[in-house]
Each structure stands twice: as structure tokens, then as C-alpha cells.
Structure 1
């Protein structure tokens, strides 16, 4: 089973992934977690470039770098683990590319982005995508003391478009499960596990 978590920065993805992994492991499942971009030596090197605030990267180059990191992760880690029956959880997947590079950067038409996403993932589609929905105001409040990387310095207009991108995906992708991320972490975790429980 492939489970992905999406949402704007500050939505609590890391916390919910940790809680879910702990719960699934307690139930006897083998669980592996990876972040995007990252998870392999190649992907982590690309991550360093993408988040480096000293680099100027064009929107199309940015999209292709994210896709390259993802392609390596899928080929080297995710697909082999899924074949072994492991539950794989990803902190971001290609939906983030649609939201950030498609809607946010407006790098290229969405149809082309979907084609690149399919190629990078060998047409792999998540079984469940949990969209932790958080308002932009709340996200700003939660992240105001964070040190900002290159992506996080893109500005309010950029993040407004990113938010609209996630909202679009939530309406058009049946696998998206929208979770109100403005509540306490245990309530959010309970909602996520209740959705998964019947499929475990």
C-alpha cells in the first residue's frame, strides 16, 4: 500500500506520518517512510540544490529536478518495497509538483506536468492521499519562526496559488482524503486511521 501526505508547510504532515507509522507498526505491519525530495543518495543531493536559498533555479528546471529526485526514489526504494508487501508512506509526492510547480510557479501546462509525473513514477498512483488542509493564515502563524529555505521564501502570492492547487486536487482526485488540520493532532490521527482501518 502506498500512502501519501500533502499540504502546505505547517500543516503537520511530519507529525501525522510519525503517528501513523507508530500505529501501523504496533499492528504488525512493516512500514517505510520517505520524504520528497529525498530518500536516496541521488535524491538527497538534488534536495540540497532545490532548497538552497543561494541558488536561482528556473521554474521548469525546478520541476524537472523534483521529478528526477522522485524517479530515483520510486525506482530504488518504493517499487521494490511495495513488491515485498511493505506499507510505504511518502511525505509529499507528485501532487506537490502539481500544486507548487504547476499552480505556484506556473512552470508549464498541467497536462504536461501530469505526463512528467507519470513518467517519473512509472505510472504509480497512491492508494490514499491525505490532504491536511490548513488555512494560509494559520500556516503563516505556525511557520513564522522557521528558518526559510528557497521554496519557503517564494512569497504570499505564490503560496496562495499553491493552496488553490491543493484545493483543485482535492476536488478532482477521488483518492484525496481532505482532513481538517487545524485541530489537535490526536483528532487528526484518529480520522486518518479510521479511513485506513478497513483496508489493513
Structure 2
């Protein structure tokens, strides 16, 4: 990113939350509606398992019997985001809105809550990636998510672990672009809230790409 960037039309819209909180379902609903309205956008999920780094992360997440140094794992997740920054910046500069399924906030929350790493240390590797226009935090308890389908498929999906991860997520509540969404509500109601806020942001003024800082 340029240190003196020009304003871009594309908006970076992030969905965050613990596992099975409904992020992916809401992104799908939003994407379908934007498509119907001919609004250019692209969806990207993290970790992006299509890359070399992403394939390493996928391998680890599926193999519960293998270990990796916690710090190395955190840096791999961050590197996976960094390797997508040029792509994301180009999309935003072209006027294409980008919907992200997870971002730096997940990386930090899981490394601190599930792996016990230092909060301040975990923030450093992601300083400098593109700052979002909005983050929709799908707020739902770990006890609630454990009743949802496919719970427990990956290494981090354990109730006590997710409770700790949830607590770390709440440390981002004060960010100006953070929007708390009651994810226990009816999916259609959730979608309408997200859609309304998204359209307000899309119709808002263009702004330069800025670097994420905490």
C-alpha cells in the first residue's frame, strides 16, 4: 500500500466470531443479495487454503495429533493474510467490495485464547495489513455454537477453548468500525441488519486504503 494513497471505492467488509457463529452463512446471504443488485464484490475466507501457506495451515488444523510451536503457528496465519494483501488492495482499488470470512482479529483471538500467547505480541505481525471499513462480530456464546452442525471438526472447536477465544474477541469492542451482531437471532433478521449497515458503508464516501493498527 502507498504511504500517500488515493481514495478507493471498494469497501473491506469483515465477518468475525468464534467457530459456528454463523459468519459463513451470513456472508453467503449478503453476497447473494449484492449479486442480485449488481454490486461488484468478492468473498475471501481466511485461512486461504488455496495458497502454499494455507495448505500448511489446513494440514495442521485437520491433524489433531501433531504439534507446532504456538508462535510459528500464529505467524503462519498472519503470513497467510499478508500474502493476500496485494490481491485485496487491487480489488478495492478497482471498486470491488471485498467480504472477508475472518481476518486478523480471529488470528489474535485464537492465538491468545486457545494457545495462551501474549495479546500485545500477537497484534504486531498484522500491523500494516488493510484496515477494514466495518467488522461484523457474530456475537454468540460457545455453549450455543456447540449445538450447531459439524461442531468439533477442527482442533479449536471445544467449548472451554471457545469461551476463552470469545473473551479475547471482546477486547476489540472499542474499535470504531466494530459492529456487534446478536448471532442467536433469526438468520433473516441478522441478514437485514448486516445488509442495512453494509449499504450505508458502500454508499458512504470513498476513503484511502489505510494500514491496520491497534
Q: Which interval holds the TM-score relative to the shorter structure?
A: 0.7 to 0.9
The residue correspondences of 1:90-169 to structure 2 (distance < 5 A) are 90-107=100-117, 109-118=118-127, 122-143=128-149, 145-146=150-151, 148-152=153-157, 155-169=158-172
Q: 1:69 aligned to 58, 80, 91, which one? A: 80
Q: SS of 1:151's equivalent? A: coil
Aligned pairs, number = 191
Cα shift readout 1:32-54 (whole Å, capped 9, x = no counterpart) = 11110016422431332331324
Q: In 1, Cα distance between the equivalents of 2:116 and 2:38?
A: 43
> Is there any run of 5+ residues in structure 1 with no aligned partner, and where?
none
Determine if contact 1:128/1:176 at 8 Å carries over to the other structure. yes
Cα shift readout 1:134-158 (whole Å, capped 9, x = no counterpart) = 1111111114x44522232xx4332
Determine if contact 1:43/1:70 at 8 Å carries over to the other structure. no
Q: SS of 2:106's equivalent? A: helix
Structure 1 residues 178 and 162: CA distance shift in structure 2, 3 A: same
Could you tell me the TM-score, scaled by structure 2's length?
A: 0.82
Cα shift readout 1:103-139 (whole Å, capped 9, x = no counterpart) = 33222x2222222111xxx331110000011111111
> Is there any run of 5+ residues in structure 2 with no aligned partner, and where?
1-10, 203-214
**Aligned residues: CA RMSD:** 1.7
Determine if contact 2:133/2:201 at 8 Å carries over to the other structure. no
Alignment-derived partner of residue 29 in structure 1: 39
Cα shift readout 1:44-91 (whole Å, capped 9, x = no counterpart) = 31332331324212221110110111111223x211211111100110
Could you tell me the TM-score, scaled by structure 1's length?
A: 0.88
